[in-house]
Amino acid sequence: MDDWQEQLWKQVEKTASDVEEFLVDVEEATETIVEEVGEGIGLFFEQFGLDIVEEVDSFIQNFVDVIVTTSDEINTALGDNLADFIDDDFTNVDFHTASLENNPACINCANYHGQSYNGNLLVCAMHPEGWSDDNCPDWSDEN
């Protein structure tokens, strides 16, 4: 009777050994799969990042190209006529001093500008054409 028990224990030990080997193989296979999947995911995100960088770079390059092309087209369209768009009289500025006859409310006001551009007097930023009486509400001491 001892013989069959001994054979049973040998079979149990062999089965346990086989199961242990199987589990080691499964563990190694799992580690390999996890490493390969991890590498694949890493490569995916690396490529995804590169694709994003390339897309943004391409967008910026296209944007700059459009601006440069548009600028060139504007310059070509204006050509020699660019001078027609610049008012030569704008550079001729005349200075006018506030007086009792002209802008009396502005005499010694820190806000007084008193310059004429292309024949148009700019009295100050608050009242471009000046104040109608002698008491401007925005008058400020020069000092």
Q: DSSP letters of 70-132?
A: HHHHHHHHHGGGGGGGS-GGGG-EEE----SSS-GGGTTBTT---EEETTEEE--SS-TT--S
Structure tokens at 29: 């296979």
Within 10 angstroms of residue 22's Cβ, the number of other Cβ atoms is 10
Model pLDDT, residue 40: 84
pLDDT at 101: 83
Q: Could you read off the pLDDT of 5-64 as tens digits, one per residue? A: 888 888 888 888 888 998 888 888 888 888 888 888 888 888 887 888 888 888 888 888
Nearest to 56 by CA among 67, 48, 44: 48
- How far apart are alpha carbons 50 and 43 in whole angstroms? 10
Sign of CA dihedral 23, 24, 25, 28: positive
Q: Which of 86-90, 124-128, 130-134 has the lowest mean pLDDT?
A: 86-90
Q: Which SS3 state, helix, strand or coil, does residue 43 take?
A: helix
What does pLDDT average to over the chain? 81
CB 124 within 8 A of CB 135: no
The domain limits of the chain are 2-81, 88-122
